[in-house]
Amino acid sequence: MTSFGARLSAALDDRGSLCVGVDPHAALLTAWGLTDDVDGLARFADACVSAFGDTAAVVKPQSAFFERFGAQGIAVLERTVAGCRELGALVVLDVKRGDIGSTMAAYAEAYLAPGAPLAADAITVSPYLGVGSLQPVFDLVESVGAGVFVLAATSNPEGPQLQHARTPAGRTVAQTVVDEMTSRNSGAAPLGSHGVVAGATIEPHVVSFSGLNGPILAPGIGAQGGTSDDVRRVFGSSTRDVIPSVSRDVLRHGSDVTELRDAVRRLAGEFAFLRA
C-alpha cells in the first residue's frame, strides 16, 4: 500500500502543482451553453474528466453541485470521480464533512473505503466539532492509504471570526488545527497524508506551517485574487507542499477540452517554482 502523501508527491512532480476544481453551479452550466439539469451536469462532467484526468495532478469535484440533482447527480459524481482516477489524476472530493462517532465513521467509509461507490483519494473535512471528532477519518487514512484535508485557515471573509480566535494556550484555532496535523505527519516520507486547507489570501501571521510535512490545499487563486506572489508570502518555506486550487480561472474557458487542458498547463507552469 502506497500512502496518499507519497502518491501526491509523485503526481505533483510529474504533472505540476495544481488542483483543478470541478464546480458545476447553475451559472457555469449556462455559460457553457448547457441546461441546468442532469443532462447538462453530465456533459459538463464528461468534458472535465476528458480535460483534467490525464493533465492535472489533482482534481477536486465539489459534491454539493452534484448533490443538488439528487440520486442522478450523485451517479454523475461517481462517474466523475472514477473517470479522473482511471486517467491518473488524484481526486480530492470536496465534501467538508464534520461530525462525531459512528456518523463520522460512516462519512469516512462513504468517501474513502476501497470499493465504495464514491471512493476518492482524499476528502476535505471540517474540524469545528473538535479535531478529535475526525478520528474515524484519520484511522481510515492510515489503514487504506487515503488522504484528508482539514479546514484550518480558509479564504472566505467569515472564517477569521472563528479561525483567528485564540485558545487558552494562546494559539489561534487555525494554528491548533495545523499543529494537530503536524503531529500526525511526523516521520512520514516523502510527505504525510494529513493535509490542511489554507487560503492563499490569508494574512501570513495567522498560522505557521513550518514542520507540517503534509500537503496544503490553497484555494483563493485566480478569480478570488490570489497570485503566485501570495503563495510565496503566505506559505514561505512550506511552499513545496502547497497545492494551489483553481476553478473559475480554468472553467471560464468553456467546454473545449483542448482549451481547458491548455489552461491547466499554463497555470501549472506559473507554479512550477513550488517543486523546483
Domain count, the chain: 1
Measured distance CA(195)–CA(60) in Å, rounded? 14
* Maximum separation of any 2 CA atoms in the chain, in Å: 53
pLDDT band at 276 (very low <50, low <70, confident <90, very high): confident
Burial class (CB in 10 A: 0-12, 13-18, 19+), 88: middle
Domain range for 63: 4-275
pLDDT band at 120 (very low <50, low <70, confident <90, very high): very high
pTM for the model stands at: 0.97
Is residue 96 part of the annotated active site? The answer reads yes
**Inter-residue contact 146 to 89 (CB < 8 Å):** no
Catalytic, out of 25, 79, 85, 96: 96
pLDDT band at 60 (very low <50, low <70, confident <90, very high): very high
> Which pLDDT does position 189 carry in this prediction?
97
pLDDT at 208 over 80: yes
Residue labelled with grid coordinates 503566485: 228
* Residue 28 in grid coordinates: 457555469
> Which pLDDT does position 204 carry in this prediction?
80
> Which pLDDT does position 135 carry in this prediction?
98
pLDDT band at 206 (very low <50, low <70, confident <90, very high): confident
3-state helix, strand and coil shares in percent for the chain, rounded to the nearest 5: 50, 15, 35
pLDDT band at 218 (very low <50, low <70, confident <90, very high): very high
pLDDT at 228 over 80: yes
Domain CATH number, residue 149: 3.20.20.70
Measured distance CA(76)–CA(117) in Å, rounded? 11
**Inter-residue contact 136 to 108 (CB < 8 Å):** yes
